[in-house]
Amino acid sequence: MNAQDSTGANAFLGTVPDDSKGTELAANMIGQGVVQASPLGMATVMASVVAGETVHPQLVLTDAQDQQDAGQVPAAQPLDAGHRAERG
């Protein structure tokens, strides 16, 4: 998780200290020490397990209007009074 990510944007996947010793090293290796993981990092781990190989996440940056025009992303609509009442 310390490896440089390939998302195409700045992203934090996680960290595992490599200078720990003794019980701190043992705790880090089972995720109980000062190991940090982001949601993107954990999704990458799960995708790698499912794929059976290392998966490198890639962020696809496109213009939102292009996606709307292609019908991939529905346009956001403001809530009317009835919807606001339902949400509390």
The pLDDT tens digits for 1-34 are: 444 456 666 778 888 788 889 999 888 888 788 8
Question: pLDDT of 27-54, one tens digit each?
Answer: 888 878 888 888 888 999 999 999 999 9
Torsion of CA 37, 39, 42, 48, to 10 degrees: -140
- Euclidean distance between CA atoms 8 and 80, whole angstroms: 38
Angstrom distance (rounded) from CA 32 to CA 52: 25
Confidence at residue 63, expressed as pLDDT on a 0 to 100 scale: 64
Length of the chain: 88
pLDDT of amino acid 52:
95
How many CB atoms are closer than 10 A to CB 5? 20
